[in-house]
Amino acid sequence: MLRSACSLSFVTLAACATKLSVFETRMIAAAPRPSNCALAFVSVDMSTPSATAWETLGWIQFSDVGVQDPMAEENRALVRPRACAMGGTAVTLGASSVGQGVRPGETSSIVYAVLRPVGAAPAPTVF
């Protein structure tokens, strides 16, 4: 019975997966916001001085089969709770790439930077 329950759980988990992989990298601790918080999508060239108006709290990366649209509702729905949990108030496109992977066909990755304005209140320091 345990074996069939584990198999069923694996199948259910696989059926619910919407991306090949999801990675989160947190760089600055910030107080989390509600999972449905408002986020701005900003255009920031991270290599220019205008980027100094923002702190990068972390990165969210999705990889999937085929070409992905960074602004697709599916992707936005996956980014929002993660960016809000990081304490972000804005996101920007860090990178978007398409290539050949170990699976047949194209795979693509989208990287979002999770941002907040410089000078925002820091996270509590209790550990």
Instruction: For residue 124, count CB atoms less than 10 angstroms from its CB and return exposed for 0-12, middle for 13-18, buried for 19 or more.
Output: exposed
In this structure, what token pair is assigned to residue 105?
A: 């066909």
Q: What is the DSSP string of 60-85?
A: EEEEEESPPPTT-HHHHHHHHHHHHH
Which residues share a beta bridge with 106? Answer: 100
Task: Provide the whole-model pTM.
Answer: 0.74
The tens digit of pLDDT for each residue in 32-60 reads 999 999 999 998 876 765 567 889 999 99
Confidence (pLDDT) at 39: 94
Domain ranges of the chain: 19-117
The tens digit of pLDDT for each residue in 80-118 reads 999 999 999 999 998 877 777 666 677 888 999 999 998
Residue type, 9: S
CATH for 19-117, options being 3.40.50, 3.30.110, 3.30.1050, 3.30.450: 3.30.110
Yes or no: say if 58 and 25 are a contact pair by the CB < 8 Å rule: yes
Confidence (pLDDT) at 2: 41
